[in-house]
Amino acid sequence: KNFIEIGRVCTINYGEQAGKVCTVVDVVNYKTALIDGPANITGVSRQSIPLRWLSLTPIKVTIGRNARQKALNKAFEKANVMERYNRTGSAKKAAAQLRRSNLTDFQRFQVMLLRKKRAIARGRQVSGLKKQAI
């Protein structure tokens, strides 16, 4: 299970920094956490944020409570957090959504045609398998 704890790597779901990666530095109360990017790697500065705005990842960094920027940077790089995060399903999904949102109208049309071709090919395979089963 992923619990909210010091050193837990999260993604921000809401607000102006939605989609960015951050680390829990301290738990303020049962609804709020103090997070930090580190800012030079993820672009998130130290701030207090509601827990409802965070999605927890399985990645955890070993840091002390209220760790300073320098210690957080060292731990972040030692644990290869960004590399590990980019391999998660949620990061891949976010990258795909970003790629899709940047498509032009013609590119979306081409995607639609390719999806149709793939569906037709699957249908033919399934019907062939059904005929063999009978």
Please, what are the averages of pLDDT over each run of 10 residues along the chain (134 residues)?
89 93 94 92 94 93 93 92 92 92 96 97 94 86
For the record, the structure tokens of 91 come out as 């990061």
pLDDT of residue 54: 94
Contacts of 82 (CB under 8 A, 6+ apart): 21, 41, 42, 76
C-beta atoms surrounding 34 within 10 Å: 17
Report the alpha-carbon distance of residue 58 to residue 60 in Å, rounded: 7
Note the Cα 95 to chain centre separation in Å. 9
Report the alpha-carbon distance of residue 120 to residue 130 in Å, rounded: 15
Report the alpha-carbon distance of residue 64 to residue 60 in Å, rounded: 12
Whole-prediction pTM value?
Answer: 0.77
For the record, the structure tokens of 76 come out as 């972040």
